[in-house]
Every structure is written in structure tokens, then in C-alpha cells.
Amino acid sequence: MIRHLHPAAWWLWAVAVAASAGLTTNPLLLAGHIAVIVAVVLARRDGSPWGRAFRLYAILGAVIVSTRLILHVIVGLKFGEIRLFPLPEAHLPSWAAGIHIGGSVYLEGALAAGLEGARLATMILAIGAANALASPKRLLRVFPAALHEIGAALVVAVTVAPQLAESVQRVARARTLRGATGRGLRSFRAIAMPVLQDTLDRSLALAAAMDGRGYGRRPATGANPASTWLILLGLLGSCVGLYGVLDTASPAALGLPFLALGLLLSVAGLWSGGRAVARTIYRRDPWGSAEWLTIACGLGLLAGSLVTVRRDPAALSMPLNPLGRPATPVSVLIGLLVAALPAVATPVPP
């Protein structure tokens, strides 16, 4: 079957993958997360501008890892036994928190810094996958009615990256037609300003069009106190539940029960607040077994990581002191295989 998968299913899958990646600094598991994300995106993205913007998130991830390593070399905490190369060292005064600049760089410290950056880069790559697989404009139609104003602003924000990718292609094509042959850093100054101006103009045009059609507006009836309290209590319950899930020393009753109760209260609050917003949706996106399968695959990976957090949290980290081989927890490996199923088990996009 050829159809677009529901955008909410892709976003929930991506958020679950990003949450799983945020629990580990194991290089094998991070590489597995990246492989799953790239495989699903390459198999199920379409030829739209937001589908082609995935490479920008990959570049951003590489920049994050490089920046983290550079900061470690300059002002990072140096530790380890295997010295990579020596550097001159300078000690700042006490009013500057006693920061040390430079110093010998060790393999263990560099690995720790690089893996921390890789964890953040993987999470960003997962969000980029959701942006590449689900059209932000289609996502606005299924956004909770109670958060309609936030949804309008969010759509304008997330469309900047796809429009930036399209603007780069448009400006580069125009320069080629004019006979410009400069490449690399020499052509950056000639391309940067037209790309920035074109991207901002298109984002402002989208915002104006959405405002002209009434997006992000609601009748002046005031906020519903019941929905406000339900959402507040739901968020508090979710925070307590997440703390109980992630803290291995906390009681089991503090984790999943509080998390489920908080999510239930939040959904009830959103439903109660959304009744005050009158809106219509033309051609609703279908929700079928493929959407449920996609969400279940993402949650399966997250469940595998949470099981490992409870049973063997050291397996999710890289052993650095002393330096050793990273573990391969079976539950997370099975979750990675399950998370890759949407690459073949979901409808092919038009």
C-alpha cells in the first residue's frame, strides 16, 4: 500500500528512539541507534524538502561531536592512563573557578567527551528523522487542539531546516546558471546571505498564511481551570514517574505507576482544554495497524533500554577506568532490531 504514515506515529517513534539513546554512552549501542535511524529514513522518506533536510541534522551531529572534543582538549577534565599527546598547561586564578587550560590529553578522557557528544548527536539525529519522515504541515493538523497556538509556532520553527536545505539548492542552482564556479569556503560569503534571506522570507510567508487562515487562534472565552489543573498534575506525576524509572534505587511503585497516571492526567487535560477550540480537518490522515506497529517498535527499544537500566546500568556505559570492551546487552540489541521494523513494515510514501 502506498500512503503517508500518520505524522504522530513517526514523531512518537523518534522520541522513543531519542529517549533510548539518551540513556547510553556505549559506542556500540549508539552506533546501533544511528544505523536504525538512517535505515528507516532512507527507506521511508519522500522527495519533499523536509525529507532532503536529514543530512543537515547529520552535519549538526558531527559538529556537536567535534565541538565537544575541542572543548575537552582546551578546558576539559583530563584523566586516564594512555596519553595521546602533551599540550602546554595554564592554570587560571581562583576567581575563574580554577579552570585548567590545555594539559596532556588522555585516551580515556577524550573517549568520554566524544561519547557524550555522540549521545547528544544521536538524539538530534532522531528528531531530524521525525522531521524528515513526517511533514510538519501535516503534523499541525493532528496537534492537540488545546496546544493549537504552540503547534502553529512549532510548525513555523521546524520548517526552517527543510526550507534552508531547499534554499541552498536554489541558490546553488542559480549560481551555476550564472557561471559561478567557486566552491568551498570561498563561495560561502556569496551563498550565505541569499540563503538566509530566502529561508526567512519563506518562513515569514508561511506564518502569515497560517495567521490569515486562523491557525493558532481561539475564542476569547478564557482558560478552563479544570484542564489547567489536570495538565499541571499530569506533568508533576510524569516527572515523578520518570525519576522513579531512571533512578535504580527508588521503589518500583514510584516509577511506572506514577508515569502512567501522569500521562493519563495530561491527556485528560488536553482533551478538556481542546473542547473550547473549534476547528475542522480536511481529509484526516488514516490511523491503522501500521501506525500502532511503528509506535510499538519505538517503545520496544525504549523498554529494552529501561530494563537494562534496572538490571545492569553499567552495560549502558563505556568502561573507562580501566579502559575495557563495551558490553552488548541483549535487551537493547533486540530493541534495536525491533525499532528498525518500520523500514519494511510501514506503507511506502508516495
User: Can the peptide bond before residue 322 be classed as cis, meaning omega within 30 degrees of 0?
Assistant: yes
pLDDT level of residue 39 (50, 70, 90 thresholds): very high
pLDDT tens string 219-267: 555 556 777 778 788 888 888 877 776 676 777 677 778 778 888 887 7
Q: What does the DSSP assignment read for 156-168?
A: HHHTHHHHHHHHH
- Ramachandran bin of 80, using left for φ above 0, alpha for ψ from -120 to 50, beta for the remaining angles: left
Q: In this predicted model, which residue has the larger pLDDT, 30 or 136?
A: 30
Considering Cα of 333, then 329, then 83, then 96, what sign does the dihedral take? Answer: positive
Does some domain include residue 336?
Answer: yes
Give the chain's domain count.
1
β-strand pairing of 105-106 with 89-91? unpaired
> Predicted confidence band at 335 (pLDDT cuts at 50, 70, 90)?
very high
Q: Is 271 among the domain residues? A: no
Residue 98 lies in a domain: yes
CA 184 to chain CA centroid, Å, is: 29
Is 250 domain-assigned?
no
CB atoms within 10 A of CB 241: 20
- 326 with 42: CB under 8 angstroms? no
Q: Do 190 and 171 touch, CB atoms closer than 8 A?
A: no
Say how far apart CA 286 and CA 36 lie, in whole Å. Answer: 25
Q: Tell me whether residue 104 is in a domain.
A: yes
In-domain check, residue 203: no
Write the pLDDT tens digit of every residue in 251-261: 767 777 877 88
pTM score > 0.75 for this model?
A: no
Range of the domain at 47: 7-142+287-345
Q: Half-sphere exposure (CA, 13 Å, Cβ side) for 167?
A: 20
Does residue 171 lie in a domain region? no
Euclidean distance between CA atoms 284 and 200, whole angstroms: 30
Structural domain includes residue 70? yes
